[in-house]
């Protein structure tokens, strides 16, 4: 249920309602909007609870939430969630760009990549230190050493660091260095990991599972939100299909679909979504055109030398050219982009 507080309700009134919601055995999530504050009351909705909450004079109305993902639903919060971390802004009419190599490989590589993507307009630096590789024999990432290099690149450039955490045991370590915690496609339904990143107060970039439905995707986001972390960025990164001409199939209709269902911002990853560098620029442009709140793109100082995902990685020049094209589309649509 959504408990809609009357306009002008004070913080004390909201807090008292939270206590009443909790006394009914429900979990309370306070969502402060520009117009009014609502409390999402989630849990077993036995008879009488709605009436009980409705009876308080500071309550305007109590409405059911029909979607299974209660806190993520647009029914709970009409205003788009905007994620801001350092100079990276995702959502609310601003297209934020995260870019960098698939993996952190060396100090020289990540520092150069950070400078190059920043010059092109990115405000977030991606780079995997813990890598989920299909084969156990592939490069697994530089681990903590890689995290330290990402932090050094942030110090040098001011970019927000976005990096993957693969297991609940590593959340504290990765959170110590990162600005945004990435949950990878292969971990979208790792519920313990979702809860662990939900316990932090860092924004979470949640990638869609390789074969996850939209409802499963939103329910995965709900696990993070349910822990009180309201900063979730959804990432469409392509799904497995019968098609083999691309590495994955990138369904861009999920962007406007998600905007009809959730207030959470949606970014697109055309690098993993296509797996082919030449397809990445047009899909970046298309992502902005269909309303994406941001892009996450693999860029390496020399893609031929990349230790992972080189064939889907843009050169710094190609990336700069791509963002210049995206900016034209953004401007035409009344959106802003750095």
Site residues (vs ligand PEP, CB under 6 A): 102, 128, 132, 184-186, 207, 237, 272
CB nearer to ligand PEP: give 118 or 237. Answer: 237
Residues 6+ apart with CB under 8 A from 51: none
Partner interacting with residue 207 (select from Mn ion, ligand PEP, none; CB below 5-8 Å by kind): ligand PEP
On whether the CB atoms of residues 41 and 87 are closer than 8 A, the answer is no
CB nearer to ligand PEP: give 59 or 129. Answer: 129
DSSP single-letter state for residue 145: H
CB nearer to ligand PEP: give 53 or 297. Answer: 297
- Per CB under 5 A, does 284 bind Mn ion? no
Tell which residue, 190, 171, 80, has the closest CA to residue 130. Answer: 171
Instruction: Assign 310 to helix, strand or coil.
Output: helix
Nearest-approach distance from CB 274 to ligand PEP, in angstroms? 12
CB nearer to ligand PEP: give 91 or 209. Answer: 209
CB nearer to ligand PEP: give 74 or 202. Answer: 202
Residues 6+ apart with CB under 8 A from 55: none
CA of 71: how far to CAs of 14, 58, 62, 86, in Å?
Answer: 17, 22, 15, 25
Nearest-approach distance from CB 102 to ligand PEP, in angstroms? 5
Alpha carbon distance 200, 330 (integer Å)? 32
Task: Please report, as residue ranges, which positions from 63 to 122 form the binding site for Mn ion (by CB under 5 A).
Answer: 102
Nearest-approach distance from CB 40 to ligand PEP, in angstroms? 29
Residues contacting Mn ion: total by CB under 5 A: 2
Alpha carbon distance 335, 338 (integer Å)? 10
Partner interacting with residue 41 (select from Mn ion, ligand PEP, none; CB below 5-8 Å by kind): none
The contact set with Mn ion (CB under 5 A) reads 102, 309
């Amino acid at each position: 249920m959504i408990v809609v507080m009357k306009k002008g309700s004070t913080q004390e009134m909201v807090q008292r309602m939270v206590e009443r919601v909790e006394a009914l055995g429900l979990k309370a999530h306070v969502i402060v909007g520009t117009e009014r504050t609502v409390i999402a009351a989630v849990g077993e909705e036995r008879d009488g609870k709605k009436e009980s909450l409705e009876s308080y004079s500071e309550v305007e109305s109590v409405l059911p939430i029909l979607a299974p993902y209660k806190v993520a639903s647009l029914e709970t919060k009409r205003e788009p969630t905007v994620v801001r971390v350092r100079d990276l802004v995702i959502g609310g009419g601003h297209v934020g760009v995260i870019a960098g190599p698939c993996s952190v490989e060396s100090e020289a590589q990540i520092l150069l990549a950070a400078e190059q993507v920043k010059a092109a307009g990115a405000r977030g630096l991606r780079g995997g230190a813990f890598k989920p590789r299909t084969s156990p024999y592939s490069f697994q990432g530089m681990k903590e050493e890689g995290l330290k290099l990402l932090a050094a690149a942030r110090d040098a450039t001011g970019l927000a660091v976005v990096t993957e955490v693969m297991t609940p045991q590593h959340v504290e370590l990765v959170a110590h260095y990162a600005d945004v915690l990435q949950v990878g496609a292969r971990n979208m339904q790792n519920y313990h990991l979702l809860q662990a990143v939900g316990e932090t107060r860092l924004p979470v970039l949640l990638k869609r599972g390789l074969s996850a439905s939209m409802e499963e995707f939103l329910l995965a986001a709900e696990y993070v939100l349910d822990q009180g972390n309201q900063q979730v960025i959804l990432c469409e990164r392509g799904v497995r299909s019968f098609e083999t001409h691309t590495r994955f199939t990138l369904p861009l209709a999920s962007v406007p679909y998600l905007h009809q269902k959730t207030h959470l911002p949606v970014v697109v990853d055309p690098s993993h979504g296509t797996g082919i560098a030449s397809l990445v620029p047009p899909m970046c442009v298309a992502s902005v055109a269909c309303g994406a709140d941001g892009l996450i793109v693999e860029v390496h100082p020399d893609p031929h030398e990349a230790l992972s995902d080189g064939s889907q990685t843009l050169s710094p020049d190609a990336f700069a050219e791509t963002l210049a094209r995206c900016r034209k589309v953004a401007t035409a649509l009344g959106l802003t982009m750095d």
